[in-house]
A and B are shown apart, each in its own frame.
Chain A
């Protein structure tokens, strides 16, 4: 950790997710020496959310296992973590924030890593007991004690949260009904063979998958069971209802203080908002991505970590533009799904491998240009294609489809190990032998 002159003396970080932890780490590593205060409305230090619907839900791991950085990190990096506290208001003119207990924190630099919150159902019955979302540790802590007595669960939403939760509950012996509002699973991410594979896997495990299901109401029966009603007359009963229908960016603080917002807090490639003293990172930002060719808002761990890194560097006065190919992963049953790039707008898909083998990849193209890839149990393809997308190298559809075509050669790793200052040559050393013993 480098000590150095800080561009500002006091940094306040609002929000306590992975972006926040990464931001303070990189700010310190790049020489920010001022005071850092991290404010989170959760009772936990920054932790990893993806395991909430996987290893944490099934009870394999405890809360400490989720922590993104160990507790000692915050003392080592001199970060005051104010947990269970909330910033209510940002006063940009006087550079201070007002807390929910009325106290005031002054800042020279402010970082917004406010993340997202689970989107809630807008239907009658949405406030009944035993309707859960899975966004925070507290959400899972509420749900988990119920699970031993749950025989049947209804999951609303066929995105990652819905599918992963469905897989975990099925493996726990719970009957699962999965309601998706689109015509396929993961509608925003995959298509073609990949969508069919995912559907097939869940059906094989006994999940009752209902697509094109528009939820219109939830009610409670006399026996206590919840019933989810969908348009067209279908009803699905369960002991609990889990809702995974997306997330909403927490931009209210930013909007209220006049920062530019448009489907997220608008930032540039250095994570700087419309106020040069305020950076923002993670799920809550709308940021430019030259590799994708437009502004995007992402709800991924990669985005939180990497944009957090950029924001931390900016705080320390170092330019580290955030220009990376988006990627996601998901573990369900015994397969690992990995996706790089954004497939939206594709006109062609190319299959590499065979779906039946359980190891294959689907490439997404528009007008012959590679947009994205999604892979099942093919991590080497995923990594090679992400490098191709990062390097904006060309990959023809026929090359993508050919299992014998070595994708790793299209965009090689650029590492070449060398000493910054070479050792003296033989001549420089006075014709002395440059090896062996003196």
Chain B
């Protein structure tokens, strides 16, 4: 049966601990200096975190972001070699690294800065939603390790799924919606 796997991230719960970042790097053996997942702060900075506003009117939230597995993925359209492709079975954007020619057109096309590149070959890398784990009915590592249960992953076409419930009951947005890529990471209100 056709699925549309999505991430739902609860900004009210995320505390910016970066445990998901570490788990992603360990699970997927991501090189030093490269990321499949970043956690940005209120100023969209992944490193120097600071709240928004002036005391006492301060606010702070974090934004875990990775490949948004867009329905109309600009990276898929820009890729000249079909390295990046979107599966109709699970709705995820997959990457066949052996087809990659290191042109980095996907990097220019992606509105979410979701790709990184091998320094030697230029081969692209990005979040696969831990496809190897999902194939075994396991959740992506970022969702498993999140200590505040801020990251959810599931099938939005299944009305019984947790992600469907969250999207039906909580206010949510996607990042940079006007770019028209139809991203599949939904952020619940902070």
Contacts and interface: CB of A to CB of B under 8 A. Distances in A.
Given A305-B80, A336-B122, A338-B103, A417 B63 contact: yes
Contact of A68 (B40, B82, B187): B82
A420 B12 contact: no
A411 to B, nearest CB: 11
Interface stretch (B17-25, B107-115, B130-138, B151-159): B107-115
B44 to A, nearest CB: 6
Interface residues of chain B: helix, strand, loop or mixed (majority): loop
Interface stretch (A216-224, A227-235, A290-298, A429-437): A429-437
A380 B176 contact: no
A309 B11 CA distance: 36
Interface in B58-105: 59-61, 63, 65, 72, 77-78, 80-82, 85, 88, 101-105
Nearest to B96: A65
A418 interface: yes
A67 interface: yes
B82 A413 contact: no
Contacts of A415: 110-113
Interface string A314-332: 0000000000000101010
Interface string A404-438: 00000000010111111101011100000011111
A52 to B, nearest CB: 13
B120 interface: yes
B102 A426 contact: no
A380 B119 contact: yes
A421 B176 contact: no
Interface stretch (A22-30, A138-146, A281-289): A22-30
Contacts of B81: 48, 50, 301
Interface size class of A (residues with CB under 8 A): 35 or more
Contact of B102 (A1, A25, A338, A419): A338
A50 B101 CA distance: 11
A193 to B, nearest CB: 20
Interface residues of B, number: 46
A25 B77 contact: yes
A423 B107 contact: no
Nearest to B101: A329
B178 A420 contact: yes
B44 A380 contact: no
Given A379-B122, A380-B122, A435 B57 contact: no
Contacts of B12: 435-438
Interface in B141-190: 173-178, 187, 189-190
Given A68-B82, A421-B173, A434 B190 contact: yes
Contacts of B104: 379, 382-383, 386
B72 A302 contact: no
B72 A418 contact: no
Nearest to A327: B103
A72 interface: yes
A302 B105 contact: yes
A18 interface: yes
Contacts of A435: 11-12, 59-61, 190
A48 B117 contact: no
Nearest to A18: B80
Contacts of A22: 77
A419 B77 contact: no
Nearest to A437: B12
Given A329-B103, A382-B122, A423 B82 contact: no
B121 interface: yes
A67 B96 CA distance: 14
A126 interface: no
Contact of A67 (B13, B82, B111, B118): B82
Nearest to B99: A65
A415 B104 CA distance: 15
Given A309-B77, A434-B190, A435-B59, A418 B103 contact: no
A202 B12 CA distance: 60
A72 B89 CA distance: 12
B7 to A, nearest CB: 15
A377 interface: yes
Contacts of B44: 416-418
A379 B119 CA distance: 7
A437 B118 CA distance: 40
What 7 pairs across the A-B complex have the smallest Cβ distances?
Answer: A379-B122, A383-B104, A434-B59, A379-B102, A301-B80, A415-B113, A420-B177
Given A329-B101, A413-B113, A416-B44, 17 more contacts: A1-B72, A18-B80, A29-B77, A70-B85, A306-B78, A336-B101, A377-B120, A379-B118, A383-B103, A415-B111, A417-B63, A419-B174, A419-B176, A419-B177, A420-B176, A434-B59, A434-B190
Interface of A: 1-2, 18, 22, 25-26, 29, 48, 50, 67-70, 72, 76, 301-302, 304-306, 309, 327, 329, 331, 336, 338, 377, 379-380, 382-383, 386-387, 413, 415-421, 423, 425-427, 434-438
8 contacts: A67-B82, A68-B82, A76-B88, A305-B78, A309-B77, A417-B44, A426-B59, A434-B59
